[in-house]
Structures are given as C-alpha cells and as structure tokens.
Amino acid sequence: MDLKDKTYLVVGGSHGIGAELVEQLSGLGASVICWSRTEPENKNAGVSYAQVDVCDREAELPTVEGKLHGVAYCPGSIQLASFPRLKIEAFEQDLEVNLLGAVRVLQHCIKALSAAGADGGASVLLFSTVAVRVGLPFHASIAAAKGAVEGLVRSLAAEYAPKNIRFNAIAPSLTDTPLAAGLLGDDKKRDASAERHPLKRVGDPRETATTATHLLSPDAGWITGQVIGIDGGMSALR
C-alpha cells in the first residue's frame, strides 16, 4: 500500500491505538498531522504535531488547508461504575470526549475532506466499543456515548456518500493501551480480562491500527457506514 500522495489527520495520536496509527500511516508514505492533548512519547520526524484539546470549546483548532484524505478520531474514555453511582457529569464527560469532540473536528475539516472527496475520495474513522453491541454491566455511560458515535457514523456516511467521503467506525474490546492501564494493572486483572474473550487475550493496539489504516486507505474504497468489531470474538461468539 502506497499513501505517498495522501494527507491524514489523526486526533489523539500521542498514545495507544492513535500512536500506532500515526506510525503506520507515516510508514506508508502519507503526510500525517497529529493533534493531541499530550506530547507523544516518541515523535516521528515526518509527522506534523500540534498540542490541541479538541474538547475545549474555547480553543481554536489549527487551520487545515488543501485536501485532507482522511481523519481518524481516536480519543476515548473509560468510566465504569454501577448506574446509581454514575453522576450526570460522567455522561456529559463521555459525550464530550467521544461524540462532541468528533463533531467539532469533523465540522472543522469537512471542507478539506470534501476537496479530497471530489478528487478521488476521502475517509473518516471513529471509534466505538464492543459494549454497544453486547450489554455489559457498569458500562452505561461509555456505551451510551459510543452508541451515539455509531449513529453519527451511519448518518454522515449517508449524507456524504454523494461527495465520495466514507465514514466507518471500529468497535474494539479491551485493548492494551494506556487508557486501559487501570483494568490491566496486574497479572490477575489481565488474566481475568483475557478469559472473557473467546480468543483468551486482550487486544493489541497494532492490530486495531492495521484495520484503521486499511479503512482510511483507498483500498477500502467500497466500505462505508460500517461498524467493524475488533474484539477477540466477544460480540459474536459464545
């Protein structure tokens, strides 16, 4: 796969799946822009980095000029608690990070995406969770927010198909990233998490990033409006 003539924006590309995605896209020759709240641990010399909090409604997003062949919105959250313990603020925070931040970024970038769409195609990738498809206890807030993300993906896929902009989502299960560190903090927790999955392990961020790279590339030009599970079989197998 050769992406030398493509430009991609990865939001939340400093850690975890986002960082792996930045690495893979740039390794295939793409021009990559990375926006994140925190500095990445290892910067790639060929990537344009900006420290941006897309959930800060007072902050001005960097200008995006020319054509943007793809946007991946990777920020996420994990707030797990019983429903009575989840305050309304938890639901608001999860919606802000997972849904409204994505809406803000996409509205900011839609002109650049449309320019690429008119010249061969563009792609947008958002992230859901297996907890939308499979009811899991203590996931009410994050499942509600990610369910809204799936609805956004399907709606925008329909709206922008005539402009040749594809919208898809990946729905992972628990993946070994800094965001999940509290759930995988010791061998006992890791083993228990692995046991819940038919493949008896947790996800590797490189696997998810590989699928993300494919969905963003022209090789996936016939895929839109889809939510693709990368979950060790959790959503389909018993």
- One DSSP character per residue, 146-165 reads HHHHHHHHHHHHHHHGGGTE
Dist. CA 97–CA 221, nearest whole Å:
28
15 DSSP assignment: S
Q: Are 72 and 21 within 8 A, CB to CB?
A: yes
Q: What is the model's pLDDT at position 220?
A: 98
Provide φ and ψ at 233, rounded to 5°.
90, 0
Q: What is the model's pLDDT at position 184?
A: 82
Which ranges of 10-100 would DSSP assign to H, the alpha helix? 16-27, 88-95
Domain coordinates in residue numbering, the chain: 7-230
Per-residue pLDDT reduced to its tens digit, 133-157: 999 999 999 999 999 999 999 999 9
Burial class (CB in 10 A: 0-12, 13-18, 19+), 71: buried
Regions in the chain scoring below 70 on pLDDT: none
Class of domain 7-230: alpha beta
Dist. CA 114–CA 120, nearest whole Å:
10
Dist. CA 237–CA 233, nearest whole Å:
5
Provide φ and ψ at 29, rounded to 5°.
95, 0
Dist. CA 143–CA 76, nearest whole Å:
12
The pTM score is 0.95
The SS3 call for residue 76 is coil
User: How far are the Cα atoms of 139, 191, 206 from residue 234, in angstroms, in the given order?
Assistant: 15, 16, 19
CB-side neighbour CA atoms (13 Å) of 219: 10
Q: What is the model's pLDDT at position 130?
A: 97
With residue 8 as reference, give the H or E element that holds it: strand 7-11
Return the C-alpha torsion angle 104, 106, 112, 114, nearest 10.
Answer: -140
Q: What is the model's pLDDT at position 25?
A: 97
Q: What is the model's pLDDT at position 178?
A: 85
Dist. CA 204–CA 194, nearest whole Å:
12
